[in-house]
Structure 1
């Protein structure tokens, strides 16, 4: 690849990033029903330029989802230490960081959960071209990422990757539906509880899912210990085997 081609590639990548940034602003302003025209207006350009840099709505939606995943991951990882913090602190701090992002960008989460951007044209495709739900598609990648991190950290023979994946998927589903309930479908919705209460309930839900799933495997969680030391097999389960 010559220097000119590389500069052009970098330029196109930067333009895509700028257009995604404009889309985020447009979503914050216009809500989940944002249009391509709204995004183009915020970007200070015409709609045809959007389609020169994104194949279609689905391509732009995927770029927005990726940005949100990176934002959440960076924000959460910036508040925790996976190898030193206790399980209790990991959950509490992680949920608090997530809730802070939701509070900063409520319309962005409404946009992702309700998926109006794609349903207008029937353009709801996953990365492999099959039909899919935007909320589920965006959660799958994040769930798999978290599952890999947890599988590496939990050194207990009874816990296999499939169990970790199922718990991760269940947790993301519970968090997404709880967030949808709390935010409501528009800015006119009055939250039923404060952000502090919502965060506390969300942390309790996450703990409950992890602890109950672990109990099924005969594993107890010492939540005041770091994750790689917190999952302990009950002696009764070991004896039974």
Structure 2
């Protein structure tokens, strides 16, 4: 006869409080270094060095390397920060229930262009960084874009609520939009740096909005769907 605790019961895994505190501390320090990287990029431009970032953070470079494996690790953290920043601003400014598709696209393009204009060196860094010159390293940025595309596609499908919407197809067009927007951003930042009278942000937003709308409409046609962009998202799609 067994008494007390059953002998075949798996023991609970004990959480080491010190390990959890150390993990939280490491995340906090990493975030502070990413903050410093943004400031250093704004000051020194896309050719910023690890030493510049450590100095901006008020730390020695060895400490920076204790919290990031290498330059690529820091590059990935900057990409993730930009992705989260854009996502938060896009969601905060959107009314998925009442805004028309046209307004959602325009507002999304405007929020994106505003972030680019606030941190141009950060975007130049992501597009042409010497921190991520090898193909294996640049794959991380693509992975981040794919994750964002999947996240946006799931949100779109949930908002529309139509069984005819194929999430994979939506994910493909969103990923295509990311590529088109990235190329346009590369051009716009280059033009703004080299020309005395660059393209105004309002015109750039209009270009992005038209590009996004055209890619979305083309994808819809391929799937036999008609879009009325002047209706809210959940009412804008119907079959041909």
Name the TM-score class by shorter chain. 0.7 to 0.9
How far has the Cα of 1:57 moved from its partner?
A: 1.4
Unaligned stretches of 5+ in structure 1?
127-131, 235-241
Q: Is the 8 A contact 1:31 1:186 kept in 2?
A: no
Q: 1:23 to 1:185 in 2, by over 3 A?
A: farther
Q: Is the 8 A contact 1:19 1:50 kept in 2?
A: yes
Q: How many angstroms apart in 2 are the aligned matches of 1:165 and 1:11?
A: 36
How far has the Cα of 1:108 moved from its partner?
A: 0.6
Q: How many angstroms apart in 2 are the aligned matches of 1:214 and 1:192?
A: 34
Q: Does 1:8 align with 2:19?
A: no
Q: How many angstroms apart in 1 are the aligned matches of 2:191 and 2:48?
A: 13
Q: Is the 8 A contact 1:221 1:230 kept in 2?
A: yes
Q: How many angstroms apart in 2 are the aligned matches of 1:185 and 1:55?
A: 35
How far has the Cα of 1:188 moved from its partner?
A: 4.5
TM-score by length of 2: 0.87
Q: Does 1:80 align with 2:94?
A: yes
Q: How many angstroms apart in 2 are the aligned matches of 1:133 and 1:186?
A: 27
Alignment of 1:208-219 (within 5 A): 208-219=214-225
Residue of structure 2 equivalent to 1:150: 156
CA offset digits 1:51-82 (Å, max 9, x no partner): 10011112111111111111101111111112
Choose from 70, 80, 85 the match for 1:71. Answer: 85
Q: How many angstroms apart in 1 are the aligned matches of 2:197 and 2:93?
A: 26
SS of the residue 1:220 aligns to: strand
Q: Does 1:159 align with 2:165?
A: yes
Choose from 84, 93, 115 the match for 2:107. Answer: 93
SS of the residue 2:131 aligns to: helix
Alignment of 1:198-217 (within 5 A): 198-217=204-223
Q: Does 1:173 align with 2:179?
A: yes
| Number of residue pairs aligned between Structure 1 and Structure 2 | 226
How far has the Cα of 1:92 moved from its partner?
A: 0.8
SS of the residue 1:165 aligns to: helix
Choose from 179, 188, 198 the match for 1:182. Answer: 188
Q: Is the 8 A contact 2:79 2:141 kept in 1?
A: no
Q: How many angstroms apart in 2 are the aligned matches of 1:49 and 1:22?
A: 13
CA offset digits 1:145-176 (Å, max 9, x no partner): 21221122233344312211110111111111
Q: Give the root-mean-square deviation of aligned CA atoms.
A: 2.0
How far has the Cα of 1:140 moved from its partner?
A: 1.9
Q: Is the 8 A contact 2:51 2:61 kept in 1?
A: yes
Q: How many angstroms apart in 2 are the aligned matches of 1:185 and 1:92?
A: 22
Residue of structure 2 equivalent to 1:27: 41
Unaligned stretches of 5+ in structure 2?
1-14
How far has the Cα of 1:191 moved from its partner?
A: 6.1
Q: How many angstroms apart in 1 are the aligned matches of 2:58 and 2:21?
A: 23
